[in-house]
């Protein structure tokens, strides 16, 4: 152990597993990625007489492990398609001459008649079947050739076998035992927990920019893997990240072997490389310092998610597993299952596995507890190291709105897509189909005006993701499923996850952009928290976390009932701290103009404009471009919170002239700004025009 591999002690259950094999007994090993599975068969292969034969599904994995063993002085080799006939004969001769400790083979080659005959001529120390979940049709990576490995028990009954995997639920474990005839094997199940990995999952809203923010904020110089569902997306994301100055290399089955091998070699040998890949990449990759794994598309089940995220932080150092999903991912995965040739029973299992992953994405509780529970492991307390623990999401009872959203689908005969349905709920009749089909006469027309378009879009996304609504793959229309009936009847509640609040914030609370008045309240709440903590001799976060204080700033609850809705406030804390915190909020009120329903970022800009009275100064203070400032202020103008003349500095005649040109160019009908800009010969920039015309929206 120490002499060859340099380790002072075993980890997990390695020692018991090694002893089991050395004694000649079979073993089934479930151990997390990075847990040291390979040592479990490498040490017995060296200790026992003969050659340890390792079944490995990938050429890259064979080469990686053989190279590492050779560096340690272990006599290891592989036979695969990269070797010439002469080189294969040389390896075989080494085995015949008892000059090999370990021989790596693919499952296809191992079960071939020629190789079986050869193995009968040498002494085999053991058979190690790596990635054993591939044997199960219920697993996430089924390979039919693995099922032929049952012949090893029949052909070599005295040779111990060890099957190893990092991911297998109860059904897959039983299948491994059955298919490989491991009925008498000792079963070793280590904890699936990877405490060094921080799990974060959020809805995909701003595409590649969202991915870039995660990488740039958390891993500006680190190596990582980005997983995408399609080859085209892999190429697009790799190009995007390269354009941002990162060295990002694509990896997918459409590339030549030479390019894939070159990119993988760079990733393994150089620092700071990002591999953008389909699931074809990563199995058995031993790079210890992968600091992040990002899923830019939803995988097909929790097993895939767990195995792929497990490629981060193999060295035990803090690492991130981040995923941005959208409902199109769910729709696509469900379509893959429906279109597959699998039997109905198998399809039902695949649907259930996908549903478990969707639940993981949408849930409000600790991610790690759910992940471990899936593998029949119980984590007694929330982990404190996932996005839901670090930044608890808000749970909103959206049962009434879910009924509205579904009623809109039903009333329009399940023939329309999300955007049309949202327009109906908001009472927008811009689409000529609304009046033509008399949908403006439906009772759902305009009943959703209490929420903005993005809110309804989020609700529909979550209803789709959780299986209440299906999407017609051909036309994109929304269809109600049987699961929707209890909500429509009012027999079941639906809770919406507040994704904006739930985002994994990498910045400290002090770095969050707050308006002047919010900053005053923020500092006052922090001072109160510090004073209370000092009096009680406890850390400030024991009173309330920064996330809770920030929510108080955003929501400004001034009644006990509303204070209870703040994340981290229970009945005990309400009784103990509610009055004093509410009093501080009352003592630091918002000016009337900022007490509105506009977005936070708009109010920050408005707050600074009310102070500085200058668009240019606001842009400089907030580090925004002028167009963004004008866009924010145009929203404030539209609802009467600020005068367009104060923002633009224009006189009445200039404003009248712009409005006149807008009317002449048809802006009131099509809301297109460019014709207005052109008609005015570029005399006024787009930001100014947007503010002047805001009240005409």
Residue pLDDT, tens place only, 350-401: 888 888 888 888 888 899 998 998 888 889 899 999 999 998 887 788 999 9
Mean pLDDT, rounded, of the chain: 85
Winning range, highest mean pLDDT, from 225-234, 331-340, 570-579, 663-672: 225-234
Residues in the chain: 697
Q: Matching CATH topology for 2-189 and 197-388? A: yes
Q: What is the pLDDT of residue 71?
A: 65
pLDDT at 247: 96
Fold for domain 197-388? Rossmann fold (3.40.50)
The Cα–Cα gap between 676 and 684 comes to: 10
- The alpha carbon torsion through 551, 555, 560, 561 (nearest 10 deg) reads -100
Contacts of 592 (CB under 8 A, 6+ apart): none
pLDDT at res. 502:
41
Please tell me the distance from the alpha carbon of residue 358 to that of residue 355, in angstroms, as a whole number: 5
What pLDDT sits at residue 4? 56
Strand pairing class (495-498; 394-397)? antiparallel
Nearest to 286 by CA among 269, 274, 272, 273: 269
137 has a pLDDT exceeding 70: no
The helix, strand and coil proportions of the chain, stated in percent and rounded to the nearest 5, come to: 50, 10, 35
The average pLDDT across 599-613 equals 85
The pLDDT score that the predictor gives to residue 509 is 31
Contact 377, 192 (CB under 8 A): yes
**Is residue 51 over pLDDT 80?**
yes
End-to-end CA distance of the chain: 74
Chain center to CA of 537: 39
pLDDT at 164 over 50: yes
Does residue 486 have a pLDDT over 50?
yes
Taking the domains of the chain in order of start, what are their residue ranges?
A: 2-189, 197-388, 394-502, 509-590, 601-696
Considering the domain delimited by 394-502, tell me its CATH architecture. Answer: Orthogonal Bundle (1.10)
DSSP string, 196-208: TEEEEEEE-SSTH
CATH code matching the domain that covers 509-590, chosen among 1.10.150.80, 3.10.20.30, 3.30.70.100, 1.50.10.10: 1.10.150.80
Check whether 545 has a pLDDT greater than 80: no
Alpha helices in 186-276 (DSSP H): 208-218, 231-243, 257-269
Q: Are 175 and 183 spatial neighbours (Cβ–Cβ below 8 Å)? A: no
The 10s digit of each residue's pLDDT in 440-465 is 999 999 999 988 887 898 888 788 87
**Residue 376, Ramachandran bin (φ over 0: left; ψ between -120 and 50: alpha; else beta):** left
The architecture of the domain spanning 2-189 is 3-Layer(aba) Sandwich (3.40)
- Identify the band that residue 500 occupies on the pLDDT scale cut at 50, 70 and 90: very low
pLDDT at residue 513, rounded to an integer = 56
Q: Which range has the worst mean pLDDT, 6-20, 384-398, 638-652?
A: 6-20
**What is residue 304's predicted lDDT score, i.e. its pLDDT?**
87
Which pLDDT does position 507 carry in this prediction? 35
Nearest Cα to Cα of residue 580 among 551, 540, 543, 545:
543
């Amino acid at each position: 152990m120490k002499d060859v591999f340099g380790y002072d002690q075993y980890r997990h259950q390695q020692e018991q597993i090694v002893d089991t094999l050395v004694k000649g007994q079979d073993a089934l090993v479930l151990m997390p990625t990075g847990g040291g599975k390979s040592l479990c068969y490498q040490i017995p292969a060296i200790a026992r007489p003969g050659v340890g034969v390792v079944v490995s599904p990938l050429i890259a994995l064979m080469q990686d492990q053989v190279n590492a063993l050779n560096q340690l002085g272990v006599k290891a080799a592989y036979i695969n398609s990269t070797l010439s006939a002469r080189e294969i004969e040389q390896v075989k001769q080494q085995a015949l001459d008892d000059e090999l400790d370990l021989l790596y083979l693919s499952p296809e080659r191992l079960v071939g008649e020629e190789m079986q005959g050869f193995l009968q001529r040498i002494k085999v120390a053991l058979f190690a079947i790596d990635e054993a979940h591939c044997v199960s049709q219920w697993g996430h990576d089924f390979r039919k050739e693995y099922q032929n490995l049952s012949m090893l028990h029949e052909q070599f009954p005295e040779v111990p076998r060890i099957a190893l995997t990092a991911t297998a639920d109860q059904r897959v474990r039983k299948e491994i035992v059955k298919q490989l005839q491991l009925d008498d094997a000792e079963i070793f199940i280590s904890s699936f927990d990877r405490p060094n990995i921080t799990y974060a999952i959020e809805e995909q809203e701003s595409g590649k920019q969202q991915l870039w923010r995660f990488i740039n904020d958390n891993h500006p110089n680190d190596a990582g893997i980005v997983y995408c569902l399609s080859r085209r997306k892999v190429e697009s994301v790799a190009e995007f990240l390269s354009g941002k100055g990162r060295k990002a290399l694509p990896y997918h089955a459409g590339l030549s072997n030479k390019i894939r091998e070159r990119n993988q070699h760079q990733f393994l040998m150089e620092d700071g490389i990002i591999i953008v890949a389909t699931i074809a990449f990563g199995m058995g990759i031993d790079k210890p310092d992968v600091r992040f794994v990002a899923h830019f598309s939803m995988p097909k089940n929790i097993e895939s998610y767990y195995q792929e995220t497990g490629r981060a932080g193999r060295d035990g150092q803090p690492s991130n597993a981040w995923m941005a999903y959208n409902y199109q991912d769910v729709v696509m995965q469900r379509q893959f299952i429906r279109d597959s040739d699998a039997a109905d029973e198998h399809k039902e299992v695949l649907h259930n596995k996908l549903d478990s992953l969707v639940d993981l994405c949408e849930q409000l509780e600790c991610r790690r507890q759910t992940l471990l529970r899936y593998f029949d492991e119980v984590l007694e307390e929330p982990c404190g190291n996932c996005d839901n623990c670090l930044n608890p999401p808000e749970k909103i009872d959206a049962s009434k709105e879910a009924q509205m959203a579904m009623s809109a689908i039903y009333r329009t005969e399940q023939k329309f897509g999300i955007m049309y349905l949202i327009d109906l709920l908001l009472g927008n009749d811009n689409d000529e189909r609304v009046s033509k089909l008399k949908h403006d006469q439906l009772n759902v027309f305009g009943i959703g005006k209490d929420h903005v378009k993005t809110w309804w879009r989020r609700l529909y996304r979550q209803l789709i993701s959780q299986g209440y609504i299906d999407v017609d793959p051909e036309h994109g229309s929304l269809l109600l499923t049987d699961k929707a009936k209890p909500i429509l009847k009012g027999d079941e509640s639906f809770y919406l996850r507040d994704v904006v609040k739930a985002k994994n914030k990498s910045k400290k609370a002090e770095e969050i952009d707050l308006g002047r008045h919010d900053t005053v309240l923020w500092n006052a709440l922090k001072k109160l928290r510090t004073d209370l903590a000092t009096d009680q001799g406890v850390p400030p976060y024991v009173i309330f976390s920064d996330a809770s204080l920030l929510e108080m700033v955003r929501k400004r609850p001034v009644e006990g009932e509303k204070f209870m809705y703040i994340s981290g406030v229970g009945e005990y804390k309400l009784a103990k701290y509610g009055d004093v915190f509410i009093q501080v909020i009352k003592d630091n009120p918002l000016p009337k103009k900022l007490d509105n329903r506009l977005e936070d970022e708009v109010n920050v800009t408005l707050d600074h404009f009310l102070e500085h009275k200058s668009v240019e100064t606001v842009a400089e203070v907030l580090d925004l471009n002028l167009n963004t400032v004008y866009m924010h202020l145009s929203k404030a103008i539209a609802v009467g919170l600020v005068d367009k003349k104060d923002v633009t500095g224009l006189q009445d005649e200039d404003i009248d002239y712009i409005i006149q040109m807008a009317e002449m160019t048809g802006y009131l009908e099509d809301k297109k700004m460019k014709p207005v800009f052109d008609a005015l010969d570029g005399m006024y920039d787009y930001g100014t025009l947007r503010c002047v015309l805001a009240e005409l929206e």
